[in-house]
């Protein structure tokens, strides 16, 4: 599965890249129809502590699932976003079964 990581106005380190890849691979293990994903990391200029934004578009057969979350760190934002996508994937699996 292809994971595209885009960071806006900064460069990610290898540790963050491997963390993201690991989390996305776990989503692919839940549902075999995952084709790829696009991850966008941004810094917000709103002045609050929760200025790290993670957006993930998960490409599955016939659909795209999307989640966007804001947090204090990119790792935490990725965790929350992946959890939201996990719930969406489970709903999608149930819909297909029925």
61 within 8 A of 35, measured Cβ to Cβ: yes
pLDDT at 21: 95
Over residues 11-65, the pLDDT tens digits come to: 999 999 999 999 999 998 888 888 999 999 999 887 777 889 999 999 998 889 9
Return the CATH architecture of domain 2-97. Answer: 2-Layer Sandwich (3.30)
Q: Where are the domains of the chain?
A: 2-97
pLDDT at 77: 95
The structure's pTM equals: 0.89
Over residues 76-87, the pLDDT tens digits come to: 999 999 999 999
Longest dimension (CA), the chain: 46
Contacts of 2 (CB under 8 A, 6+ apart): 35, 36, 37
């Amino acid at each position: 599965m292809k994971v595209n990581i885009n960071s806006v106005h900064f460069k990610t380190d290898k540790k963050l890249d491997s963390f993201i890849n690991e989390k996305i691979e776990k989503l692919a293990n839940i549902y075999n129809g995952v084709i790829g994903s696009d991850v966008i990391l941004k810094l917000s200029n709103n002045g609050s502590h929760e200025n790290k934004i993670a957006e993930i578009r998960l490409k599955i057969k016939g659909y795209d699932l999307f989640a966007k979350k804001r947090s204090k760190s990119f790792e935490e934002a990725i965790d929350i976003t992946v959890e939201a996508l996990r719930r969406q994937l489970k709903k999608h699996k149930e819909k297909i079964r029925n």
